[in-house]
Amino acid sequence: MSRNNLVPVIIAGGAGSRLWPLSRQLNPKQFLSLGDTGLSMLQETVKRLDGLDSKPPLLICSDQHRFLAAEQMRLLGMEQTNILLEPIGRNTAPAIALAALRVCSDGEDPILLVLAADHLIQDTHAFQRSINAALPLAQDGKLVTFGVIPSHPETGYGYIQMGERVGELGFAVNRFVEKPNLVTAQQYVADGSYFWNSGMFMFRASRYLEELQRFQPDILASCREALTGGTQDMFFTTVDHVAFAACPEDSVDYAVMEKTEDAVMVLLDAGWSDIGSWSALWQVSEKNEQGNVFKGDVLDQCSHNTYVHADSRLVAVVGVENLIVVETKDAILVAHKDRVQDVKKIVDQLKTEVRNEHINHREVYRPWGVYDSVDNGHRYQVKRITVKPGAKLSVQMHHHRAEHWIVVSGTAKVTNGDKTYLVSENQSTYIPIGQIHALENPGMIPLELIEVQSGSYLGEDDIVRFEDKYGRA
């Protein structure tokens, strides 16, 4: 198959709420580094494609993650990656429909390799062998799914029952089954014909659209309208919000794969996991002699089979077993490994109580850099702000707060009303309430400063933007 005929489609949606408090709504697990490489799960997914005869990937993510995704692709040297933005989540069937329509709009009809951005695959060579084995089947009009050879009875995954052989390396799909209870999962593994549903797919773009038209025409119609009414900004494709919000919500499994007569399965034995919980991450991580996994500054005395992640401070554990301990700057999770699926209930409780710890970390990433809310109280807030070289915050003003900026390192170019001037290390400046202002890093090194806000209201929504190089409203 020629290079021009295989397009990886990486779906980077989802909140990863079962990996709270590391995974948050505005910085979910696909953008986190959970292994030892220093790369995020999205970046690992992209690097896994190296060596495949394929075009650059098409990335699908939420509009609120656009700059986070673009920055991670930039760090891989892939600044020109096409990113398709969803204004609202509608599950995988509409997401893949948008991708298929997008690639076909150029007059091509490539094979799509649909991957999730938040899966772990430990054996890249085995992964690529399965991809290459699936290509002839997809070329023949089949809709390929990848069945993972189960290593143990797992109740957190759906299963695929294998049928008769199709072609050289494929098998017919007898049926898809939902996540089973433990007894049923044990029966599936003992049977030998059931495999974990990886959530990875391969098919020609036009074949997917044909089957979607046959089984879920409303989804296809909504996606066509959303893409037609969308906009293109550099490498970002934004779809029409109203049209996409009207799209039915459904997974590709329910919408197409369970109904089509052309579903086939290719085996995948590559150390796959969807890292859907803290216990799953412990399971696939390298452990010490006591079965522990320690990340960060951790001290231990006589603990066993425990996962500890220390993000910002020392965490000490003594004589504990089968625990998950995760520390971040603003939250600490302690859970038994057998109850980690209930972490999502904590996230639901945070939502019910209208708290913010499920939305973002204390450190918040922006297209220009990052800020850390280090302290706050009645009528004041203190942030440590880092601005990337060449980056600029929007030209803006605030109705309810004044700001003091103290430069710690680097040089700041400040617009303060009708004045523009430089502020260097150990110097400061003051922005009054209602003053139009901007902050820029004209230098070659990161600009770090302390911002002290004071006023009657300090919310992030008290920003009126007049000009923004990143296209934010």
DSSP-H helix ranges across 4-144:
41-47, 66-75, 92-104, 124-139
What is the reported pLDDT for 233? 82
Highest mean pLDDT among 4-8, 140-144, 465-469: 140-144
394 pLDDT exceeds 70? yes
Does the pLDDT value for residue 205 go beyond 90? yes
Domain 3-273 coded CATH 3.90.550.10: yes
Q: What is the pLDDT of residues 80-104, one digit of tens each?
A: 899 999 999 999 999 999 999 999 9
For the chain, residues classed under CATH 2.60.120.10 are 363-467
Which ranges of 152-276 does DSSP label H, i.e. alpha helix? 182-191, 205-215, 217-228, 241-245, 252
Q: Does the pLDDT at position 63 exceed 80?
A: yes
Q: What is the pLDDT of residue 268?
A: 95
Asked if pLDDT for residue 3 goes beyond 50, the answer is no
Q: Where are the alpha helices (DSSP H) in 18-63?
A: 41-47
Q: Above 70 in pLDDT, residue 2?
A: no
Confidence of residue 473 (pLDDT cuts 50, 70, 90): low
pLDDT recorded at residue 167: 84
For the residues 135-146, what does the mean pLDDT come to? 96
Strand 82-86 with 58-62, pairing: parallel
In the prediction, which pLDDT does 471 show? Answer: 78
Supply the pLDDT for residue 1: 41
Q: Is domain 363-467 annotated with CATH 2.60.120.10?
A: yes
pLDDT mean over 377-400 = 95
pLDDT of residue 360: 87
Q: 3-state DSSP helix/strand/coil percent for the chain, to nearest 5?
A: 25, 35, 40
Instruction: Write down the pTM of the prediction.
Output: 0.88
Which residues make up the CATH 3.90.550.10 domain(s) of the chain?
A: 3-273
Alpha-carbon dihedral 41, 47, 53, 59, rounded to 10 degrees: 40
